[in-house]
Structure 1
Amino acid sequence: MAEALYFMPDISGFSDFVNETEIEHSIHIIAELLELLLDNNTLNLQLVEIEGDALFMFSTKIPSYEELMQQTETMLEEFHRHTKEYDTKRICTCGSCKTTIDLDLKFLVHYGDLTMIKVKNIIKPYGREVIQIHRLLKNQVPVQEYVLFTENIYILYQNNMIESWTKKTEIYDLQNLNYFYKILDNIKLKVEEESQKEAQKNEDFTIPDAIINRTFNANIEKIHRYLSELKYRHIWDKEVMRVEFDENEVNRVGTEHNCVLKLGTLKFETISRPSKDSLIYGEKTESIIFLKKFYYLVNLHALDLNATEISLNLYLEYTFLGSFMKKSILKRITKMWQNKLESLHQVTKSELFP
């Protein structure tokens, strides 16, 4: 009978994540993270199933202990790089987006016989080995990030294991089940240190060419959502026929989308800047005629629950020809944005929300 290594990366904190926060964004975020793990599958493990917050994988080619541990470290490092970058580039203020940085990753590894079952055209591992690794998903390991070896795989690699592993015994189906685990908290700390050393890269915002100040009779979170959720853009921006964007991705710094107008298409990229007491959303484009670059930042400051102070900053960098028409171009763009803000105000002060 063939033997296999069974491997399960499992995102810790996923249950709290989807139960307590916005479902739509959490689905996008978890999908991104699971795809990231698959992209970093250096051992070419075969994917059996996606099980909510976990990947169930196996291989009949048994790796060395060093290769296996490198696989866990690679996945974990890329996982935390992604969540850290996601946090620094985050635009959305919903619970799912704000708590992505708190997610952790654990690994369960087992070794045993490989029995396959076929149902219609679906063939996958089946039997007691599969049951055993799944039972250990609900273990009593007291930390969030670790790699867990069943006794079978511990015996397979014990001659190569020089690190400190903790043995634990739990009762499953009235029988003792031994397993061993190793804490992996050093990876997250490493990524955090790398992130702190890197200078934060922000758009070099100079003095704006125009500032439009308004007060909206609407909740700040509602206004920010209409601004940053691309699927709502056409509701308040009447010049936009539709917005082309990746619906499986949460909008954040660096996200690109196309605004399809009656007379063409403009390509935009999401931007922002740090702020402790305001919500800020912006975009930039190099697609406007006579301008090398145009970008805007909307600064939102809550006055009370249903009143928000709006400050729109417009930045224009002209081409050579555009420099001869500065006044007329700025006047036209300022008027256009005054109309957009008025439409946005009418939409956001309504009680209705899509």
Structure 2
Amino acid sequence: MAEALYFMPDISGFSNFVNDTEIEHSIHIIAELLELLLDNNPLELQLVEIEGDALFMFSTKIPSYKELMQQTETMLEEFHRHTKEYDTKRICTCGSCKTTIDLDLKFLVHYGELTMIKVKNIIKPYGREVIQIHRLLKNQIPVQEYVLFTENMYMLYQDNMIESWTKKTEIYDLQNLNYFYKILDNIKLKVAKDSEIEAEKNEDITIPDATINKTFNANIQTIHRYLSELKYRHIWDKEVMRVEFDENEVNRVGTEHNCVLKLGTLKFETISRPSKDSLIYGEKTEGMILLRKFYYLVKLHSLDFNTTEVSLSLYLEYTFLGRLLKRSILKRITKMWQNKLESLHRVTKSVISQ
């Protein structure tokens, strides 16, 4: 009988995350995180299936203790680097994006006989070993991030498990089931510390070349959604025929997309700026003629539920030839954005009146 290692990374906090926050963004975020785990799989474990918030994987090639622990640590570190970006680079204010930083990751590992079942063209592991690792998902470990070894795993690696492991016994089906766990909270702390040390890479945007101020009779969240959700761009920006972007990714600082215009295509990157009392969204491009770079930032400040102050700042970095035509270029771009804001106001105002 063949034997296999069974491996399950499981995202903690997933149920509350989905139930209490916006479902569309939560689906994108969980999908990103599961894909990230699959991309950081140096042991080349085979994916059996995706089980909501977890990956069920296995391998008949049994790794060393060091190799296995390295995989769990790599997965966990990349997981937290990704969730940290939702804290430092997000531009969306929905509950899903704001609480991604609170998600945790645990690992369950088991070793035992490998029995396969075939249903039509689907072949996957089956039997008591699969049942055992799934039962342990509902364990009583008092922390959120850990790696759990079943007793079979302990017998396989016991000579290497010399410290930081805790034995625990629970009753399943009226029988005692032993397992061992190691707390992994140091990795999340390391990622948080690294993030604090690394300087925030904001664009050096100081004095704008032009500013347009306007009061919108619309809710601040509605305006921000139509600005930052790329699927709405063509509704208010009439110069854009369509926007090409990854529909499975939540827009955040560093996200790139292509605006397809009547004459050509412009590639934009999302930018922002920290603010305690306002919502800010912006983009930059290096593809505009006569300009080295073009940036815009839209600052939204709520006056009341349906009234929002909108301040648009335009930043232009000219080429040599562009400097010769600076006044006409700035006038044209300012007029263009006045029209965009008028259109955005009409669209967002109509949303609250429906």
TM-score, normalised with respect to structure 2: 0.98
Gaps of 5+ in 2: none
Q: Secondary structure of the equivalent of 2:328? A: helix
Equivalent residue of 2:5, what SS?
strand
Residues 99-152 of structure 1 show CA distances to partners (whole Å, capped at 9, x for unaligned) of 111110000000100001111111110000000000111111111000111111
Alpha-carbon shift at residue 67 of structure 1 (Å): 1.2
Aligned to 1:53: 53
Distance in 1 (alpha carbons) for counterparts of 2:258 and 2:353 = 24
Residue 283 of structure 1: CA displacement?
Answer: 0.4
Could you list the runs of 4 or more consecutive aligned residues of structure 1 that deviate by over 6 angstroms after TM superposition?
none
**Matched-pair contact (CA < 8 Å) for 2:86–2:98:** no
Match of 1:225 in 2: 225
2:199 alignment partner, SS class: coil
Give the Cα–Cα distance (whole angstroms) in 2 for the partners of residues 353 and 169 of structure 1: 60
Query: For residues 58-207 of structure 1, what are the structure 2 equivalents within 5 Å?
Result: 58-207=58-207
Deviations 1:145-182 (A, max 9, x none): 00111111111111111122112221211221111111
Give the Cα separation in 2 of the matches to 1:78 and 1:295: 31
Cα offset for 1:352?
5.8
Does 1:347 pair with 2:332?
no
Q: What is the match of residue 265 of structure 1?
A: 265
User: Is the contact between residue 164 and residue 183 of structure 2 (CA under 8 Å) also seen in structure 1?
Assistant: no
| Structure 1 residue 310 displacement after superposition | 0.7
- Consecutive unaligned residues in structure 1, runs of 5 or more: none
Amino acid corresponding to residue 327 of structure 1 in structure 2: R
CA distance in 1, matches of 2:192, 2:105: 15
Q: Indicate the residue corresponding to 2:254 in structure 1.
A: 254
Whole-angstrom distance in 2 between the partners of 1:292 and 1:59? 52
Aligned-pair distance for 1:199? 0.7
Corresponding letter in the other structure for 1:300: L
Q: What displacement does 1:320 show?
A: 1.2
* CA distance in structure 2 between the aligned counterparts of 1:268 and 1:56, rounded to whole angstroms: 38
The CA distance in 2 between the partners of 1:336 and 1:158, in whole Å, is 69
1:313 aligns with 2:313: yes
**CA distance in structure 1 between the aligned counterparts of 2:94 and 2:76, rounded to whole angstroms:** 25
Aligned partners of 2:160, 2:267: CA distance in 1, in Å?
A: 54
Query: Which residue of the partner structure matches residue 16 of structure 2?
Result: 16
CA distance in 1, matches of 2:330, 2:101: 40
Task: Name the counterpart of 2:2.
Answer: 2
Cα deviation code 1:87-107 (max 9, x no counterpart): 211010000001111110000
Residue deviations 1:281-306 (CA, integer Å, cap 9, x gap): 00011111111111100000111111
After superposition, the CA RMSD in angstroms is 1.2
Give the distance between the partners of 2:108 and 2:275, measured in 1 at CA: 40
Answer whether contact 2:218 2:352 (CA < 8 A) is retained: no
In the TM superposition, residue 2 of structure 1 has moved relative to its aligned partner by 0.5
Q: Which amino acid aligns with 1:350?
A: S
Which amino acid in the other structure matches residue 94 of structure 2?
C
Partner secondary structure for residue 202 of structure 2 = coil
* Distance in 2, Cα, partners of 1:317 & 1:186: 44
Q: Could you state the TM-score of these two structures normalised by the residue count of structure 1?
A: 0.98
Between 1:150-159 and 1:292-301, the stretch displaced more is 150-159
Query: 2-side partners of 1:287 and 1:66: how far apart?
Result: 48
Equivalents in 2 of 1:234, 1:219: separation in Å? 20
Partner Cα distance (1:157, 1:22) in 2: 43
**1:353 positional shift:** 9.6
The one-letter code sitting in structure 2 at the alignment partner of 1:289 is: I
Number of residue equivalences: 354
After superposition, the Cα gap between the structure-2 partners of 1:353 and 1:318, relative to the gap in structure 1 and judged at 3 Å, is farther
Query: How far off its partner does 1:351 sit?
Result: 3.2
